[in-house]
Structure 1
Amino acid sequence: MSDEPPKKHSTHHPPPPPSLSSLPQEIVLRCLAFVPRSYRLSLSWVSKELRSLLRSPELNGLRPDKNSLYVCFQNKHNDPTTVHWFTLRPKEETTTTEYVLVPNPTPFPPHKYGSSTATVGSKIFFIGGSRKPSSDLWILDTRTGNMTQGPSMSVPRKKYDAAVGVIDGKVYVIGGGVSNKRFHEEIQVEVFDPKSGTWELAGVENVRKTLRCGASVDRKVYMVESEETSVYNPRGCERERMVRIVNERLSSERGRKEALDDTVCRACVVEDVLFAFFVRSGVMWFNTKFNAWSSLVGPDGKKLFISRADAMSEYDDDGRLAVLYMLGENEVDETFTKSVGCMLVKLDRAGEKICGTIDWSGVVGAVPYWFSFLHCFTCL
Structure 2
Amino acid sequence: MKQVRILIFPCGSEVGLELHQALKDISFITLIGASSVPDHGQYMFEHYCGGLPFVQTPDFLERFNALLKAQHIDFIYSAMDEVLDVLSANREQLAASLIAPCHETVHICRSKVRTYARLNGLDFVPKVYNSPDQVTRFPVIIKPEEGYGAKGFYILQTPEALRQQLAESKTANVICEYLQGEEYTVDCFTNRHGVLQYTSCRNRNRIRNGISVNSRLQPPDEKIGEIAQQISARIPMRGAWFFQLKRDEDGNCKLLEVATRVAGTMCIQRAVGVNLPLLSVFDMMNYDVAVTPQLDTVEVDRALYNAYHLPIEFDEVYLDFDDTVIVHDKVNLNLMRYLYQCVNKNIPVKLLTKHDYDINITLKRYKIAPELFDEIIHTDRAQRKCDFIRPGKRALFIDDSFAERKQMQEAHGMVTLGVDAVEALLDYRQ
With the shorter chain as reference, the TM-score category is under 0.3
Q: Which has the larger radius of gyration?
A: 2
Q: TM-score, normalised by structure 2?
A: 0.23
